[in-house]
Amino acid sequence: MKLRVRLQKRTAPLELEGAEPTLGELRAQLRRALLPSWGYRGGKGLKLVVFQTPEEENLLMPV
């Protein structure tokens, strides 16, 4: 899954393995790869907000 991550005024691509990665996997990848490259350590107090476009909403299947 390919994502765009925005933190304050920075935006970067982030790719997650697997067809349906979990939020835990997203958080781990952010802590491991992206946050250190932006000068952040540990990700303490990290809050995730997930947005999707109307086009993406049509692709989601009800559970």
Is the pTM higher than 0.85? The answer reads no
Structure confidence by residue, pLDDT tens digits, 30-40: 888 888 888 88
User: Backbone phi, then psi, for 32, in 5-degree steps?
Assistant: -80, -40
CB 16 within 8 A of CB 25: yes
Three-state DSSP at 6 gives strand
Distance between CA 14 and CA 25 in Å, rounded? 12
Q: Which residues of the chain have pLDDT under 70?
A: 42-46, 51-63
